[in-house]
Structure 1
Amino acid sequence: MFPRRRTLAGTAVAALALTFLGAGHAAAADVNNARNGGFESGLTGWTCSAGSGTTVSSPVHGGTAALKAVPAGQDNAQCTQSVAVKPNTAYTLSAWVQGGYTYLGATGTGTTDVSTWTPDSAGWKQLSTSFTTGSSTTSVTVYLHGWYGQAAYYADDVSVYGPDGGGGGDPAPTVPAAPTGLAVASTTSSSASLSWAAVSGATGYTVYRDGTKVSAVTGTSATVTGLSPSTSYAFQVTAANAAGESPKSAPVTATTAPSSGGGGGGGGLPKHAVTGYWQNFNNGATVQRISDVPAQYDIIAVAFADATGTPGAVSFTLDSAGLGGYTVDQFKADIAAKHAAGKKVVVSVGGQNGTVSVSDPASAANFANSVYALMGTYGFDGVDIDLENGLNATYMTQALRQLSSKAGPSLIITMAPQTIDMQSTSNGYFQTALNIKDILTVVNTQYYNSGSMLGCDGKVYSQGSVDFLTALACIQLQGGLSPSQVGLGVPASTSAAGSGYVSPAVVNNAMDCLTRAANCGSFKPSATYPDLRGAMTWSTNWDAASGNAWSNTVGPHVHALP
């Protein structure tokens, strides 16, 4: 959410234009010529620039270790290995990656050097490419790297499959055993969340519903969506690696909940609402108290809660010194006054530097308990999820449902994913939103700091335009969210974000286009969505620094929507 800079022009378009294919099954004579591709022996065999690489025990894709490499402003965290190969021979290079921008490639092939890459990814994703060596090539340099100043990337299970180059390598895999411990973690009226025990040697898992493949994942959990209410389904899971797929696990049965109609939380909110982030810090924008936030804002997201030493748990400390002596008692009183005026105040978890990890049942419970405690302490109405370094859909779903069971139907849950997080229902953020559709208030996607992206019509749109807002919001509207759960997130001024600012008039035109097919650009939605929730901005402080031009223009327009 703040302050983000994306310096790779067109990264998102390139990413979405690629289709990452798995390496497939190796031929009988093929071996993995990479050494220590799973980083089980530390960085043995690898060289990382500027001391950027290390090994970690979590997250891992396979085994007990993975590479973590941290780019810097002048270093892209490149890790390389020289791999022995045969001349005039085809090889397949692949690796599993997650985290920040990640590149995989090979140089010195003697023919055409190759590479592939992905933008920041919340979960494990396989990159794969292939090359043919030249007539005198006996070794190639395989590399992974991130991008300057971006988030750390993780890599695991690197392989260079093909005929044995004579330099040694990792052992060829064997078919893994069938998964055990398959259980139903939770259900909604349209989804079932599953979990199971990890299988040694597995690089991925396949979920079957009533005998039909419905999902392929790399972790030990999955959420199956698109189910019918009040219906029983049988699920099984298999494990796989380059050697093949295991037998199916023992089946479990999940029965979905009755239909809830979709759309929960938000009691007392107007049909169309304006959300603004309030900064609990001074970064050059106008310093505000909660009482200074204009009345046009219906939901105020207090940024940000912080991670604690307890996995999943969060805390909040008012920056009294940075806010000119604003005391906790004044802060609480101002929240109460906003309640009296019919407004909602939530605590936002994350931001660009947020490191909260909800990745297992214990951390899910810690998250729910700690957020609920903050609600009691400060009077927050709920929580905003702004985790820009990814989230686990299964366990964040569990956490938010546990919080809902504690707080009751008045709970406000908002989310602020990046544009890339809402491009597909398979992404963790989108899955989470669909999983909690019955208790979700609004998803305010950040339509900025992203570069060009694909719209729901498959065309590429540049950020900072009516078309970008409408064609990307259309993905959520067609992907299963209720229109009342979709909001347009934009910067309040050019100082509030690195790119993607649009004038308030453009925001209003986009909402007109989506709600009544008026003031559209070249993109025309196939339907209108008069229940569209509204708009969000980062931040009320940057809005104030611009004379509240954003809220004074967008606010009245949102509240006048049909």
Structure 2
Amino acid sequence: MDRSRRTQDPRSRRRTGRNLLSHPRPLRAFTALAAAALAATGLTVIGDGGTEAAAASPAAASHTSAAARTAAANLAKNPGFESGLDNWTCSGGSGAAVGSPVHGGSGALKATPEGADNAKCSQTVSVQPNSSYTLSAWVQGSYIYLGASGTGTTDVSTWTSSASSWQQLSTGFKTGPSTRTVTIYTHGWYGQPAYFADDFTLDGPGGGDPGEPVPGAPGGLATGTVTASSVALSWNPVTGASGYNVYQDGARVQSVSGASAVVTGLTPSTSYQFQVTATNSAGESPKSAAVSATTKEGGPGPSVPKHAVTGYWQNFNNGATVQKISDVQNQYDIIAVAFADATGTPGAVEFRLDPALNYSEAQFKADIAAKQAAGKSVILSVGGEKGTVSVNDANSANNFANSVYAAMQKYGFNGVDIDLENGLNATYMTQALRSLSAKAGPRLVITMAPQTIDMQSTGGSYFKTALNIKDILTVVNMQYYNSGAMNGCDGKVYGQGTVDFLTALACIQLEGGLAPSQVGLGLPASPRGAGSGYVSPSIVNNALDCLAKGTGCGSFKPAKTYPGIRGAMTWSTNWDASNGNAWSNAVGPHVHGLP
């Protein structure tokens, strides 16, 4: 990261190269142009904005031709649920076979999301390596997803936000060079009503050698490292197995290729039972003997309040007031230290105090501890406008998690903020953050600061990442600035700098799957804090009132209120201090006074 430029440029977070809508147009037109561009590069837009990798070779195209689909056998077992839930596994007992409504035959799936369970129903299917497949299903309901995992290449999914009658979802994928099984699935979304699915079809070459035996049950299952939210498992490899399924209290929670796994997202001080099975193209083995483990108690550290104010603290001098952590105004509940930088190791980051601040490491650590003793969370922000951290494979994901955790242990940070403004890989950033969560425990604070363009659709990588880690995510503080005009959740275009811009864009996140407690409004603390988009603190407060209470709205008024909305964020505590702390003095008490 170019520190000299940051020192000279008073708008270090200005995204002049990232303003995709400097000449704003309705997103529908933008999407049409994007679709044409995607088509030219071998990608296709699926469903309500989800983007999937398309088959790129002539052989792949032949697999998806109408003639091939007609001739191919359906690889999905019990695809119409005529035999109840045979061959299907539904999370948390969320699924049931029903006789109405049905798309075809006499049965269909009804699955009901509850709490943190999104009602995922899946089955593992035998396939051939280096082959192309088309997956489709008929669905009915709100926010329904269809996908395939364990493909060995790029896992795919598509979705629809609303299917009042039966609607067909379809996507395609290619298997990797050693892939013998894939898992096909459907799921709904948190807080949504029950959905229905029927008539699954998986077209492509069938897998397996008819003479290949089903593998035996794994032996030697044992627990390893146990934290407050995770349990590490290992077992003896099974001859002839191409993969393994992990079961938690009788429900399958993971599919892995090797003889080890880490089960995450667990509750502190809780006993769990685990089993594993071995799989290959011929089928799945019996379950192993069970082992039990009790998670540890929750770790120390402050909890983020119901309504919170986040502020970025600058580890550099760009013309704003230079601060120590102890100088940060008391209204801030989360202090994001900006920024960690990339190292020469892929995915790894490091943090070093800027020598120009004349701030000793010992005092920095002591100031963090003092803020935490006062109930604040201090986290490490990764990225920024000029950040070049890339997490694009399993190795870099592991390096990211290890390096962030090392920084947490060294300085006492409570968590991490993802502020990567040059793109991210949803699959591997999810892996990295879940690995970090397994190390740090349930009090880990994870925040995000995407640009507005990154949260326009649940098909975007940032939005996907947020939804993937919804069970461990603290808050997404989208940057409502440096963006021009954008679509709101009602399909209308709103210009930045207004109450409508804040509320209509927040609505996309609130209705797209994030909990109200995971949505915050990110604004500059002063006109000098960003290139454009500054609004007075009163506008921020009006937008919060509109979302939480239905008052103070502009022309856009959400269909319902979100009293649990988390709060607001600003760039930065330093620019706030340069402006007499006017932003935090106005917005802070208002956030803390929300219902």
Q: Same fold (TM over 0.5)?
A: yes
Query: Structure 1 residues 486 and 447, CA, compared in 2 at 3 Å: closer, same or farther?
Result: same
Name the residue aligned to 1:220.
154
Question: How far does residue 222 in structure 1 lie from its aligned partner after superposition?
Answer: 3.7
Q: Distance in 1 between matches of 2:361 and 2:503?
A: 40
Equivalent of 2:41, from 73, 89, 95?
95
Structure 1, 264-273 or 520-529: larger mean CA deviation: 264-273
User: 3-state DSSP class of the match of 1:363?
Assistant: helix
Aligned counterpart in structure 1 of residue 406 of structure 2, from 373, 376, 382: 373
Which letter maps to 2:146? V
**1:317 aligns to what?**
352
- 1:237 deviates by 5.3
Answer yes or no: is 1:397 the counterpart of 2:446.
Answer: no
Query: CA shift at 1:97, angstroms?
Result: 8.9
State the partner residue of 1:547: 580
Offset at 1:16? 4.3
State the Cα distance separating 1:13 from its structure 2 match: 3.1
Q: Is the 8 A contact 1:238 1:247 kept in 2?
A: no
Contact kept, 8 Å, 1:197 with 1:220, in 2: the verdict is no
Cα distance per residue 1:291-342 (max 9 Å; x no partner) = 1100000000000101111111111111022x1x111111111101101111
2:79 is aligned with 1:175: no
1:47-70 alpha-carbon deviations (Å, 9 max, x no partner):
xxxxxxxxxxxxxx9xxxxxxxxx
Corresponding residue SS for 2:584: helix
Measured at CA, do residues 176 and 225 of structure 1 come closer, stay the same or move farther in structure 2, by a change above 3 Å?
Answer: closer
Hey, what does 2:319 align to over in structure 1?
284
Cα displacement (A) at 1:4: 2.1
How far does the alpha carbon of each residue in 1:6-63 deviate from its partner, in whole angstroms, 9 at most, with x for none?
Answer: 6665445355423448999xxxxxxxxxxxxxxxxxxxxxxxxxxxxxxxxxxxx9xx
Contact map agreement 2:302 2:377 (CA 8 A) in 1: no
2:529 aligns with 496
1:267 deviation in Å? Answer: 5.5
CA distance in 2, matches of 1:526, 1:372: 41
| Contact in 2 for aligned 1:122/1:391 (Cα 8 Å) | no
Of residues 118, 140, 147, the one that matches 1:190 is 118
**Is 1:506–2:539 an aligned residue pair?**
yes
Asked if the contact 2:51–2:459 (Cα under 8 Å) also holds between the matched residues in 1, the reply is no
User: Given the two structures, how large is their TM-score scaled by the length of structure 2?
Assistant: 0.60
Distance 1:548 1:520 in 2: 25
Structure 1 unmatched ranges of 5 or more: 25-60, 62-92, 99-120, 127-156, 158-171, 180-186, 228-234
In 1, the alpha carbon distance for the partners of 2:593 and 2:372 equals 22
Match of 2:329 in 1: 294
| Alignment match, 1:41 | none
Cα pair 1:386 1:416 within 8 Å, conserved: yes
1:339-371 C-alpha deviation (Å, 9 max, x unpaired): 111100000011111111111111111111110
1:247 and 2:211 aligned:
no
Secondary structure of residue in 2 paired with 1:384: strand
Task: Show the 5 A alignment for 1:221-240.
Answer: 221-222=155-156, 238-239=173-174
Measure how far apart 1:391 and its partner are: 1.0
Given the superposition, is the C-alpha separation of residues 222 and 9 from structure 1 closer, same or farther in structure 2, using an over 3 Å criterion? Answer: closer
Deviation string 1:94-114 (CA, Å, 9 cap, x unpaired) is 23699xxxxxxxxxxxxxxxx
| Structure 1 residues 246 and 360, CA gap change in structure 2 (3 angstroms) | farther
State the distance in 2 between where 1:504 and 1:442 align: 20
Please show how residues 405-554 of structure 1 align to structure 2 within 5 Å.
405-554=438-587
2:25 is the counterpart of 1:13? yes
Number of residue pairs aligned between Structure 1 and Structure 2? 406
Relative to 1, partners in 2 of residues 1:455 and 1:304: Cα closer, same or farther, differing over 3 Å?
Answer: same
- Partners of 1:178 and 1:199 within 8 A in 2: no
Superposition pairs for residues 92-241 of structure 1, below 5 Å?
Answer: 94-95=40-41, 173-175=58-60, 189-190=117-118, 214=146, 220-222=154-156, 238-239=173-174
- Counterpart residue number, 2:101: none
Q: Which residue of 1 aligns with 2:13?
A: 2
Q: Is the 8 A contact 2:401 2:432 kept in 1?
A: yes
Q: Please tell me the residue identity of whatever aligns with 1:214.
A: L
Q: Is the 8 A contact 1:347 1:380 kept in 2?
A: yes
Note the C-alpha offset of 1:209. Answer: 6.9
Q: Which runs of 5+ in 2 are unaligned?
A: 1-11, 65-90, 92-115, 162-169, 176-201, 209-242, 246-250, 255-262, 268-297
Q: Is the 8 A contact 2:264 2:434 kept in 1?
A: no
Query: In 2, distance between residues paired with 1:353 and 1:124?
Result: 28
- Kindly tell me: are residues 207 and 3 of structure 1, through their superposed partners in 2, closer, same or farther at Cα, counting changes over 3 Å? farther
Counterpart CA distance in 2 for 1:490 and 1:278 is: 14
CA distance in 2, matches of 1:374, 1:423: 32
Q: Distance in 1 between matches of 2:447 and 2:145?
A: 32
Counterpart residue identity of residue 275, structure 1? T
Number of the residue aligned with 1:132: none
* Displacement after TM superposition at 1:122 (Å): 13
> Helix, strand or coil: the match of 2:576?
helix
Which residue in the other structure is 2:340 paired with?
305
| 2:502 and 2:543 in contact (8 A); partners too | yes
Partners in 2 of 1:250 and 1:338 — Cα distance?
A: 58
**TM-score, normalised on structure 1?**
0.63
Q: CA 1:267/1:340 → structure 2, altered by over 3 Å: closer, same or farther?
A: closer
CA contact (8 A) 1:178 1:238 kept: no
1:476-500, CA deviations, whole angstroms, 9 ceiling, x for partnerless residues?
1111111011000011111111111
Cα distance change of structure 1 residues 393 and 178 upon mapping to structure 2, 3 Å threshold: farther
What SS is found at the alignment partner of 1:405?
A: helix
Cα offset for 1:125?
Answer: 8.6
What amino acid maps onto 1:95 in structure 2? T
Residues 516/363 of structure 1: CA separation in 2 closer, same or farther (3 Å cut): same
- CA RMSD between the two structures: 4.4
Letter in structure 1 aligned against 2:330: A
Cα distance between partner residues in 1 of 2:62 and 2:411: 50
Instruction: Supply the distance in 1 between the matched residues of 2:495 and 2:35 (Cα, whole angstroms).
Output: 33
Identity %: 62
Work out whether residues 334 and 376 of structure 2, in 8 Å CA contact, stay in contact via their aligned partners in 1. Answer: yes
Distance 2:51 2:385 in 1: 17
**Which amino acid letter does the alignment assign opposite residue 479 of structure 1?**
G
What amino acid is aligned across from residue 320 of structure 2 in structure 1? A
Q: Distance in 2 between matches of 1:10 and 1:350?
A: 23
Mean CA deviation greater in 541-550 or 249-258: 249-258
Q: 1:462 to 1:125 in 2, by over 3 A?
A: farther
Which deviates the most, 490-499 or 249-258? 249-258
> Comparing both structures, which one devotes a greater share of its residues to helix?
2
Contact 1:238 1:246 in 2 (8 A): no
- 1:225-267, Cα deviation, whole Å (9 max, x unpaired): 899xxxxxxx995349xxxx982675998945999899x9996
Change in 2 beyond 3 A, CA 1:453/1:210:
closer
TM-aligned CA deviation for residue 272 of structure 1: 0.3
Asked if residue 273 in structure 1 is aligned to residue 273 in structure 2, the reply is no
| 3-state DSSP of counterpart to 2:529 | coil
